[in-house]
Structure 1
Amino acid sequence: MNAPHIFQPFVVSDSELALFQTLFKQQIGLHLSDEKKALLASRLESRLMALGLSRFHDYYRFITGPGEAAAEELQQAIDLITTNETYFFREPAHFEFLSQSIVPATRADAPFSVWSAASASGEEAYSIAMVLHDTLGDAPWRVLGSDVSQRVLRSARRGMYPLSRCEHIPQPYLKRYCLRGVDEYTGQLLVERSLRERVSFVSMNLTRLPDTLGQFDVIFLRNVIIYFDLPTKIRVLESVLRYLRPGGYLITGHSESLHGVCVPLEAVASAIYRKPVNP
């Protein structure tokens, strides 16, 4: 009788971890600490199994090799390693400040533009859109959502979410902007089409921003710089601020600190900063 097969979990060696630390730092600016061995293994082991590989070193060689297949697999690895936990109206004080303080004081000579710079699966971008439609109505405005993960962007463009992810949407917005699924879509919620059409999503790496983004009145850069080391955090902030209009607002996550970062911003509220008009 053959002995039963015992699954051997994938183990990441110190040298393999170092390879992926360098790779993800170069590709997306992610600081993967030495304590993340187990996380790396759990996030990527399914890809090793799918490809019939037994060592993380072999997987690293594949995704850093030439060809379209390698590039596609590298994107899959990035999708798996990045954290994309979010929900509608997360940190609600920011949306209150947007609706009560920023929008009423905005100029009327150009479309009001907001960039959700780490939009994940889109809840933040659609939350912003609900606020803007409610406060600006038919006046011109736009929301851009961006993320490094192609996987979550596909979900964002669809605009459909489990009801469990929507419990923080204010009731008036829920009734006005959301459709409850029926039949095979029971338990799902769909953002209303006219709102979805005002929000666009693009794949974007914050460490390699394009030159064609335009200028924004508000940039949400929340719950992402916490994953960067200090030099990368400074570089990303300096790059992002190029696209913030003078007098515009940068909003970060409540758990993120700009301590030790010298950038031209004035703190106006918790995790809310204003770019001076005349620096």
Structure 2
Amino acid sequence: MHTLSDHEFQRFQRFIHGAAGISLSSAKKSLVVGRLAKRLAARQLDSFHDYLALLEQREEHAEAQIAVDLLTTNETYFFREPKHFELLRRVAQASPSHQPFRIWSAASSTGEEAYSMAMVLADVRGEHPYEVVGTDISTRVLARARQGHYPMERIRQMPGDYLRRFCMKGTGPQTGTLLIQRPLRQKVNFLHLNLNERLPTLGSFDMVFLRNVLIYFNPETKRQVVHRVLETLPRGGWFCIGHSENLNDVGAPVEQVAPSIYRKV
């Protein structure tokens, strides 16, 4: 096993903060070793020092993206924090049927959150228009999200009716997995996006989920990201964050409606 010195870990901390705005605590040192050791083997390098030197080369954009992917990916599951999806159902039902309902999964990871959104909207909106946008900094998880293929243990909170209507259970070699049906997959647009940079033109959303990612940012980065994301919401738009997160000291133009639920003012 390759060892990672404190100085090298500090360089990785600077790298991931510069690339993604994420602040890695000292408790994450073993995570860095565990997730990046395979890249040393793949690139036939002898040390983390050599790997850091590789990342600092301008022409190594692809390797830098792989490192970001490995250090930022978090496992998730369908219908995580159900109260947010109950809110989505109510808001979508009250939305004018002739206007497209647009929702953004701003840290979509492998796509379970975005597809959960799409299931609720397909149920509530019927033939009325809606759009789900999922974005993430990791190209690797976005590729998995577009496939819509998941292990069955990710569905523990999915309503049984949705499982039957929107998913296909794997058989044979695919036993123990499910595939999101194509019509629903086509309703979700996954895009590569770094929340720590100026956003591309995404249009206006009725609701945004930015959940379980703010905890990785320092206070100033958190403030910038929240304000950047809120620019995509009109007054009265809904903003959901993770239950372990808050918007204290962010100075955001929102009012808190319930724990982790806000409306733009």
Please classify the TM superposition score into its range, dividing by the shorter chain length.
over 0.9
Asked whether 1:199 is paired with 2:188, we answer: yes
Alignment of 1:245-256 (within 5 A): 245-256=234-245
Equivalences, count: 265
Deviation at 1:108, TM superposition (A): 4.1
Alignment of 1:69-148 (within 5 A): 70-100=60-90, 102-148=91-137
Alignment correspondent of 1:3: none
Which is worse superposed, 23-32 or 175-184? 175-184
In 2, the alpha carbon distance for the partners of 1:42 and 1:187 equals: 27
Deviation at 1:51, TM superposition (A): 1.4
In 2, the alpha carbon distance for the partners of 1:85 and 1:185 equals: 20
In 1, the alpha carbon distance for the partners of 2:42 and 2:151 equals: 28
Deviation at 1:188, TM superposition (A): 1.4
Deviation at 1:79, TM superposition (A): 0.9
What is the identity percentage for the equivalent residue pairs of Structure 1 and Structure 2? 48
Q: What secondary structure, in the 3-state scheme, does the structure 1 residue paired with 2:236 have? A: strand
Deviation at 1:139, TM superposition (A): 0.6
In 2, the alpha carbon distance for the partners of 1:196 and 1:93 equals: 23
Asked whether 1:237 is paired with 2:226, we answer: yes
Q: What secondary structure, in the 3-state scheme, does the structure 2 residue paired with 1:274 have? A: strand
Alignment correspondent of 2:10: 18
In 1, the alpha carbon distance for the partners of 2:200 and 2:190 equals: 17
Asked whether 1:161 is paired with 2:150, we answer: yes
Alignment correspondent of 2:19: 27
Q: CA RMSD in A?
A: 1.2
In 1, the alpha carbon distance for the partners of 2:260 and 2:164 equals: 30
Asked whether 1:53 is paired with 2:45, we answer: yes
Q: TM-score, normalised by structure 2?
A: 0.96
For residues 8-49 of structure 1, give each alpha carbon's deviation from its aligned partner in whole angstroms, at most 9, with x where no partner exists.
x22211221121111111110010122322221111111112
Q: What secondary structure, in the 3-state scheme, does the structure 1 residue paired with 2:235 have? A: strand
Q: What secondary structure, in the 3-state scheme, does the structure 2 residue paired with 1:247 have? A: coil
In 1, the alpha carbon distance for the partners of 2:44 and 2:53 equals: 14
Deviation at 1:235, TM superposition (A): 0.6
The higher radius of gyration belongs to: 1
In 2, the alpha carbon distance for the partners of 1:214 and 1:12 equals: 43
Q: TM-score, normalised by structure 1?
A: 0.92
For residues 109-152 of structure 1, give each alpha carbon's deviation from its aligned partner in whole angstroms, at most 9, with x where no partner exists.
53110000011100000000000011111111000001111111
Asked whether 1:214 is paired with 2:203, we answer: yes
In 1, the alpha carbon distance for the partners of 2:189 and 2:198 equals: 17
In 1, the alpha carbon distance for the partners of 2:221 and 2:63 equals: 24
Deviation at 1:252, TM superposition (A): 0.4
Q: What secondary structure, in the 3-state scheme, does the structure 2 residue paired with 1:179 have? A: strand
Deviation at 1:223, TM superposition (A): 0.5
